[in-house]
Amino acid sequence: MRIAIDLDGVIFDTERYFRVASEIEDVNNFGLNNKINNNELKFQERYKWSSKFCDDFYSKNVFKIEKTAGFIPGAIKVLKMLKELGNELYIISARGIFSEKQIDISNELLKNNDIDIFKKKIYKAENKRKYVISNKIDVIIDDNLQICKDLKNICKTIYFKDAPNYENTDKDIKTVYNWGEIYRYFKEKNTK
Ligand SMILES: [Mg+2]
């Protein structure tokens, strides 16, 4: 099976670090009543921030967080197990759109943690659909519910939800809360 995995919030624990940093930034700059919706995945949509403020916040934090956030618990272990089960692993991530340096950081972290086991690493994927189609992906794993909704008609979709993000009510999209549940999902598929 060809499995495509998102990086931020699925393999790397960056989204939670961004949540911490954005909360502190918001409170310190705008007080306690500036949040719009805590379920939003993107900080740009969680607060009443100007686009300039968002850009400054992002560029101030992005490299530090991407370098130090580390891996989501179980990601390394289960990715290796999925590969051993005979699956082909792909990364499809928007990382790198802001800066090429993000790609170097990602490749280095994967290499240094002995998890550079992917058939292909697709960065700067603004539109994931075309890569899912061209690489004949069977399953995608993403923490962005909208991306799961957009792709559910062309492949199986697993919504990785380990934060306040939106609840999934769509029966065609599988929700998991940790990498152990991802392992269970693929073991069940293999035995059917
Ligand atoms: Mg993500």
**pLDDT band of 118, cuts 50, 70, 90:** very high
Beta-strand (E) ranges in 75-144? 88-92, 120-122, 139-142
Residue 6, pLDDT score: 98
Q: How many independent structural domains does the chain possess?
A: 2
> From the CA of 44, how far away is ligand 1's center (Å)?
14
pTM over 0.95: yes
> From the CA of 11, how far away is ligand 1's center (Å)?
9
Both 60 and 105 in a single domain? no
> From the CA of 144, how far away is ligand 1's center (Å)?
6
Helix, strand or coil, per DSSP, at residue 169: coil
Both 74 and 57 in a single domain? no
Final residue of a domain: which of 23, 38, 68? 68
Specify the CATH number for the domain of residue 8.
Answer: 3.40.50.1000
Both 116 and 182 in a single domain? yes
Domain residues for 6? 2-12+70-191
Both 63 and 92 in a single domain? no
> From the CA of 5, how far away is ligand 1's center (Å)?
9
> From the CA of 24, how far away is ligand 1's center (Å)?
21
Both 8 and 39 in a single domain? no
Judged on CB neighbours under 10 Å (0-12, 13-18, 19+), 119 is middle
**pLDDT band of 192, cuts 50, 70, 90:** low
| pLDDT over 70 (residue 67) | yes
Q: Which two tokens stand for residue 27?
A: 């409170």
Gap between the Cα atoms of 188 and 192, Å rounded: 6
| pLDDT over 80 (residue 191) | no
pLDDT (tens digit per residue) in 123-164: 999 999 999 999 999 999 999 999 999 999 999 999 999 999
Both 54 and 81 in a single domain? no
pLDDT (tens digit per residue) in 12-66: 999 999 999 999 999 999 999 999 999 999 999 999 999 999 999 999 999 999 9
Q: Give the neighbor-by-neighbor strand order of the sheet with 120-122.
A: 120-122, 88-92, 2-5, 139-142, 156-160, 173-176
Both 104 and 173 in a single domain? yes
Both 106 and 183 in a single domain? yes
Both 62 and 77 in a single domain? no
